[in-house]
């Protein structure tokens, strides 16, 4: 593969980012339908992580890449190009302002942002010998290793770089992926990819996963108290992390295959005991008025079994004043707060004709250890026979791009 890049592609990318004010989000009138679909690109944090709050776009792509740039200069060019394209694609405006490229044409003559967000993360392998970044690696960033019940496919794990593209419709996602590939193929190549979707509310509350249960309910607890997201999700001083990581966060992506044939033969009453919630309403088994009702565990484990999913994922109640004894949790642990941004997936059957469908689990947290500790507890959950994690990785989601002169990973590379 040729690793060089042309001046024409660099100039073209720069023009595309700057013409008609699209790079500044000024390409359209604020009152137009297009403007209502724009998720602001600039900010202290990447907008695809938390925004729009609690209303994730319905379509998502996770794509991991191996960086083929030969040196620090080319790596910087890669991140500048990613920034220019993400800034342009999320802003809306004329679809083909670049004289060197006609674009994919998928969106016609007007680039509809469609709620598009582009979230960029880096893997531990980017900090090897190639670019002189070893001393700047985030403290907890490591390759993902297999847990007890994983069956990881090496070809679908890890990566130097992760892109998470989210939008309201598939065409906006595919257009963005083609655009980014066209501009960066000389500097990175795709290692693996998983496409996902989120269901509408059925009939209300958070969308359901392919097991039929409400998903991402716990995000509610991070938004109902001011400052909680900053405390538990974003890296900020004081911290053992390198200074450049401020405003970023650790990202986990896990491809989890569901064994739906077996699951759908389990009586609903038993499924609810496995999860810890009522299937139709999402209300915790201990009771409440809706899916966001406080979860209080009975000390005997009769209502919510000690090894049900939500009890092991977060052993304590939300207010942390009560901790039920649990034989599967030897040590008292604080309340667990992760920000989930997951999608469901369905792919072609495997070679034996079995359905390949499940969960592209994604979460963000200030400390990677928060997730790892949680997953180690979940090795004992009664859901284990019905799921098999097959891929994914650990990444550090970069701080946001703060303005027109900023770019992804600038503080890391300078």
So where are the chain's domains? 7-132+148-205+402-413, 257-394
pLDDT in tens, the chain (414 residues): 444 333 333 333 333 333 334 434 444 555 555 556 899 999 999 999 987 666 789 999 999 999 999 999 999 999 999 999 999 999 987 776 665 555 678 888 788 899 999 999 999 999 999 999 999 999 999 999 999 999 999 999 999 999 999 999 999 999 999 999 999 999 999 999 999 999 888 887 888 999 999 988 878 778 767 788 999 999 999 999 999 999 999 999 999 999 999 999 999 999 999 999 999 999 999 988 989 888 888 888 899 999 999 999 988 644 444 455 677 886 667 778 899 999 999 999 988 889 999 999 999 999 999 999 999 999 999 999 999 999 999 999 999 999 999 999 999 999
Is residue 149 exposed (0-12), middle (13-18) or buried (19+ Cβ within 10 Å)? middle
Is residue 255 exposed (0-12), middle (13-18) or buried (19+ Cβ within 10 Å)? buried
The whole-number pLDDT of residue 134 equals 98
End-to-end CA distance of the chain: 28
CA dihedral 375, 376, 381, 385 (to 10 degrees): 80
The whole-number pLDDT of residue 309 equals 95
Pair 362, 340: CB distance under 8 Å: yes
The whole-number pLDDT of residue 20 equals 37
Pair 78, 185: CB distance under 8 Å: no
Pair 270, 259: CB distance under 8 Å: no
The whole-number pLDDT of residue 37 equals 86
- Taking only the tens place, the pLDDT of each residue in 125-142 is 999 999 999 999 999 999
* Helix, strand counts (H, E) of the chain: 12, 11
| Cα separation, 393 vs 362, whole angstroms | 10
Query: Which structure tokens are listed for 111?
Result: 């680039």
What does the H/E/C string look like for 338-376? Answer: CEECCEEEEECCCCCCCCEEEEEEEEEECCHHHHHHHHH
| Cα separation, 202 vs 344, whole angstroms | 15
| Cα separation, 112 vs 12, whole angstroms | 20
**For the domain 7-132+148-205+402-413, what is the CATH code?**
3.30.70.1030
The whole-number pLDDT of residue 103 equals 66
Phi-psi region of 84 (alpha: psi -120 to 50; beta: other; left: phi over 0): alpha
Q: How far is CA 50 from the centre of its chain?
A: 10
Pair 27, 110: CB distance under 8 Å: no
**DSSP state letter for 284:** B
Phi-psi region of 394 (alpha: psi -120 to 50; beta: other; left: phi over 0): beta
Q: Pick from 406, 405, 400, 412: which is nearest to 51 by CA?
A: 400
Q: How many CB atoms within 10 Å of residue 328?
A: 16
The whole-number pLDDT of residue 114 equals 93
Q: How far is CA 340 from the centre of its chain?
A: 7
| Cα separation, 5 vs 189, whole angstroms | 14
């Amino acid at each position: 593969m040729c690793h060089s890049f042309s001046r024409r592609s660099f100039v073209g990318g720069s023009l595309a980012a700057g013409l008609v004010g699209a790079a500044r989000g000024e390409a359209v009138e604020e009152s137009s339908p297009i403007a209502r679909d724009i998720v602001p690109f600039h900010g202290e944090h990447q907008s695809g992580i938390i925004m729009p709050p609690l209303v994730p776009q319905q379509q998502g792509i996770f794509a991991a890449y191996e960086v083929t740039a030969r040196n620090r200069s080319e790596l910087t060019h890669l991140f500048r190009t990613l920034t220019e394209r993400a800034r342009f694609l999320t802003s809306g405006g004329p679809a083909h302002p670049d004289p060197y490229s006609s674009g994919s044409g998928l969106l016609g003559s007007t680039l509809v942002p469609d709620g598009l967000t582009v979230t960029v993360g880096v893997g531990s392998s980017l900090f090897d010998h190639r670019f002189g970044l070893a001393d700047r690696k985030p403290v907890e960033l490591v390759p993902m290793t297999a847990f007890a019940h994983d069956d990881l496919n090496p070809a679908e794990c890890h990566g130097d770089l992760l892109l998470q593209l989210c939008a309201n419709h598939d065409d906006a996602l595919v257009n963005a992926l083609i655009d980014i590939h066209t501009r960066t193929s000389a500097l990175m190549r795709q290692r693996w990819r998983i496409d996902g979707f989120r269901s509408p509310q059925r009939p209300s509350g958070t969308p359901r996963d392919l097991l039929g249960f409400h998903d991402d309910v716990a995000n509610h607890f991070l938004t109902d108290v001011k400052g909680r997201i900053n405390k538990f999700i974003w890296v900020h001083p004081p911290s053992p992390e390198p200074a450049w990581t401020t405003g970023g966060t650790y990202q986990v992506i896990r491809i989890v295959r569901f064994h739906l044939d077996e699951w759908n033969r389990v009586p609903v009453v038993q499924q609810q005991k496995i999860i810890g919630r009522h299937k139709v309403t999402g209300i915790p088994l201990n009771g409440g008025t809706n899916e966001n009702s406080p979860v209080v565990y009975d000390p005997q484990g009769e209502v919510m079994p000690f090894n049900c999913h939500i009890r092991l994922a977060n052993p304590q109640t939300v207010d942390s004043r009560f901790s039920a004894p649990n034989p599967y949790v030897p040590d008292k642990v604080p309340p667990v707060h992760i920000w989930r941004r997951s999608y469901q997936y369905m792919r072609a059957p495997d070679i034996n004709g079995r359905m390949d469908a499940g969960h592209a689990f994604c979460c963000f947290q200030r400390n990677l250890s928060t997730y790892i500790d949680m997953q180690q507890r979940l090795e004992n959950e009664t859901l284990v026979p019905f799921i098999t994690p097959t891929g994914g990785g650990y990444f550090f989601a970069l701080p946001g791009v703060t303005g027109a002169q900023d770019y992804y990973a600038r503080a890391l590379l300078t």
